[in-house]
Chain A
Amino acid sequence: MSNSLFIDIGSYQKQKDGEDCFGDTIYSKKIPEERRVISILSDGLGSGVKANILSSMTTRMAMKFMEDNTDLLRSSEIMMDALPICQIRKISYATFSIVDSELEGKTRIFEMDNPRYIFIRNNKSLAIKGREFSSPKWKDRSISVSQMTTQPEDRIILMSDGVTQAGLGNKRYPLGWGRQGCIDFVLSELEKDPHISSQNLAQKIVEEALSKEIDKKAGDDISCVSIYFRTPRKLLVLTGPPFDEDKDKEIADMVAEYDGKIAICGGTTSNIIERELCLKCEVDKSSFDTEIPMASTMEGVDLVTEGILTLTDAYRMLKEGIDRKPNVASVRLVNLLLGSDRIDFVVGTKINVAHQDPSLPMELEIRRNIVKKIFRLLQSQYLKEISVRYL
């Protein structure tokens, strides 16, 4: 298996009480060709529309500079020069935190004036020493750069000062919730649910911060970005009706709860899922091919295809290379298989009586056999991690 990581980014924001728009801006982008993910959180001076403009400008500019690998000091100078100057405070101001991650594990974090990021590994918050830079032009503002090699299950959390200062002035939190308060909260949440998604974690942090505020009214924009470095992508391949009809519910639950991509290969199998989960399954006519039955679309499922013919053709193409149009069901199945690192096959072993008829003009494989051929090939030739379960 490759060392590549999967990076799950989630964010959540709450604007200052009484404001219509967010004063903080969050912007994340994947650059697939460089296998890089960049995520930026910026807090604009003040709140409302003015802050929104300042922070939006900052994130957009910073993203461009990061993508182009422009020298950081130079780009920060340009950003500070470009921002409009606040008439009251006579400064142009927006803070930022930037996380620049490569999927192989190298991550750099650039920060200016935001609360320091939180880095969590093995359920502990690690303090990483950053290097400080400042531009001769803007001496009072310094940029901190830290670098780390990320591992699966690492998490990085960025937040605006609305999080750390939540509850400021409140009797219980005279100086605000604080960064440490946030760290303690995150660690306790991770203890409860170690695999919590970034989105849920970011939302919990913001909601917790809000609960510290007087009357639960946000005194400042509260924003949080959560980044979760995860082990690679999973795919569930479900094929064939279970031998025992009582298991229909079980496979449907598997589909509903699976935390990865899902492919269903089999007309009857998809009918079962459609029935059990009350989902609508429709034939996708763009996948027409004279040799392979068309694929269907179903909400929450990445691919629905016919069974044996598609699997047989996918096996052939895994061996010989893809030789059909990209939209054809079997090609899409092959691409899904190749795009995943861990593939879980769930094979229903009920024999389809209609397939045993010797008058059928084509050799129809028995499901178990074709699945066995496919996963052995995926293991040996494509180094995938495979699990197979027969039902």
Chain B
Amino acid sequence: MEKVKVKICCGTSCFVMGAAQIQVLEFAPPADIADKIEIEEARCMNHCKDTTAKYNRGPFVMVNDELIEEANFEKVVNKIREILNQEK
């Protein structure tokens, strides 16, 4: 089974909005998904500038091809589980 690709933006604004907490996924992932994910840290992916929303909707995380806005650890893990369940 292909691993779920998780790309965490570590640009300045995503980082201050909480991307560092999502990076925990890399160093201490929940046991059930630990070997099913591939984490990549990205420098600014420019979503903070492209967004049409008035206020910043970071941190931004890409899970496979899906963009998660205002991401946090919970949201990302849930998304990964959702994708893994679909594939089953």
Residues of A within 8 A of B (CB): 267-268, 270-271, 281, 283, 285, 288, 290-291, 293-294, 296, 306-309, 352-355, 357, 359-362, 364
Contact = CB atoms under 8 A, between A and B. Distances in A.
Nearest to B20: A290
B34 to A, nearest CB: 16
A354 B49 contact: yes
A270 B13 contact: no
Given A283-B10, A362-B16, 17 more contacts: A268-B46, A285-B41, A288-B23, A288-B27, A290-B21, A293-B10, A294-B10, A296-B43, A306-B10, A307-B12, A352-B13, A354-B12, A354-B13, A355-B12, A360-B13, A360-B56, A361-B17
Nearest to B12: A308
B43 A309 contact: no
Interface string B25-67: 0110000000000001111101011000001101000000000
Contacts, number: 75
Interface of B: 10-13, 15-17, 19-21, 23, 26-27, 40-44, 46, 48-49, 55-56, 58
Contacts of B13: 352, 354-355, 357, 360, 364
A354 B43 contact: no
Given A288-B27, A353-B49, A281 B16 contact: no
B11 A267 contact: yes
A220 B17 CA distance: 68
Contacts of A359: 55-56
Contacts of B19: 293
B50 to A, nearest CB: 10
A283 to B, nearest CB: 4
Contacts of B48: 353-354
Contacts of B23: 288, 290
Contacts of B26: 285, 288
A296 B41 CA distance: 10
Contact of B43 (A288, A306, A308, A355): A306
B12 A364 contact: yes
Contact of A293 (B15, B21, B27, B55): B15
A364 B16 contact: yes
A85 B15 CA distance: 69
Contacts of B41: 283, 285, 294
